Chains A and B, each alone.
Chain A
């Protein structure tokens, strides 16, 4: 089944404790992206990757890191989480970033709470 998977689905952690949220897709997609969803703000893009070894900042990159060493994986790293990073996080992928083939498939989400 074609899908985007994220792990963990739920995570409660403490301020300052490094964590990684994994994202994997099995559709051979070039483009991958991370978003956070907060009430009243919709989704805001954190980082995106147009292909392996190519990543760039979205609108809210502060406090996050990403890497794209393999096509299928795009982990999100919080080196020192803070309470304002408590949110619902979504990973998404698209076959390509070119206009006619840009259609994002979303993972199920990771609900992160930082205390």
Chain B
């Protein structure tokens, strides 16, 4: 079946450090891939997405590239800020006659000043 695996957190970084959060998936066919962010006490917000192989999604300095050969969609940011502290979720969606979404377990990021 379809699944999403994310690196376990928490991840703790100093301000201006480089961020990578790994995400790999299992799916048949060609899913769409997403990163969502959840700030404390809030619902999720879409951060970026990619709908086909080799697409790069980007937003607010975050990037992720859809790699079909490695079934990965790793999230990166060159220089994190304290305000990036949140939980990040990788997700996939696929049309299987219906349209379901599968989320990873989430990775909590702490950024220290």
**Interface residues, chain A, with chain B CB atoms under 8 Å away:** 4, 31, 33, 35, 40-45, 48, 50, 56, 58-59, 90, 92, 97, 99-100, 102-109
Contact = CB atoms under 8 A, between A and B. Distances in A.
A109 B44 CA distance: 9
Given A42-B104, A45-B101, A97-B95, A103 B44 contact: no
B99 A43 contact: no
Contacts of A102: 32, 93, 99
B43 A43 contact: no
Contacts, number: 59
A90 B93 contact: no
5 contacts: A42-B106, A48-B98, A48-B99, A50-B99, A102-B99
B98 A41 contact: no
A108 B42 contact: yes
Interface of B: 4, 32, 36, 42-46, 49, 51, 89, 91, 93, 95, 98-106
B105 A104 contact: no
Contact of B43 (A40, A48, A90): A90
A56 B103 contact: no
A43 B44 contact: yes
A56 B98 CA distance: 7
